[in-house]
Amino acid sequence: MEVTLPAVVTVLSDINEARIPSVTQILKAGKKPKEVLELDEVGVKIPPAASVVTVSNLAPETERKRIVVKSVAELIQSLTTEGVIGR
């Protein structure tokens, strides 16, 4: 693919090995000068209200049987009863 500029390109996480900074480099970076801009200085407007509302965010319910089987023979028997093998 080829794209005319300006362009936005998203890449997958495995595109390359990221350079991991050392602890001293991270500490050094913290001392570099920073300039803080307000949103209106850069002309960015955030929409007044979020368009997506979260009703709940819970751990998924697992409704699994959790039957402990003792042997392969017992397992095969159970799976045959479930109708998932020997189709």
Partner 1 sequence: MATFMIYSSKEKQALELITAAKSVGAAAVKAVCINDEAQANALAAAGAEVLLINNDAISLADVAAVASALGQVAAQLGADTILLSSDRRGKEAAGRLAAILDAGCLTDISAIKANGDKIECQRNALGGATVATQYIASDKKIIAIRPKTFDAPGAGSGSVNAMTVDVKASAVKLIETKTRGGDSVDIEAAEALVVVGQGLNSKDDLPAVEALAKKLGGEVACSKPVATDKKWLSEERIVGLSGKKCKPELAIILGISGQVQFTVGIRDAKVIVAVNSDENATINGMADYILTADMHDVIKEMNSSL
Shortest separation between residue 40's beta carbon and partner 1, angstroms: 21
- Residue keyed to tokens 């002309």: 43
* Contact residues for partner 1, defined by CB under 8 A: 1-4, 7, 13-14, 49-60, 62, 64-73, 75-76, 78-79, 82, 84-85, 87
Q: How far is CA 66 from CA 26, 27, 73, 74, 86, in A?
A: 46, 49, 17, 14, 22
Which residue, 41 or 61, has its beta carbon nearer to partner 1? 61
Which residue, 13 or 22, has its beta carbon nearer to partner 1? 13
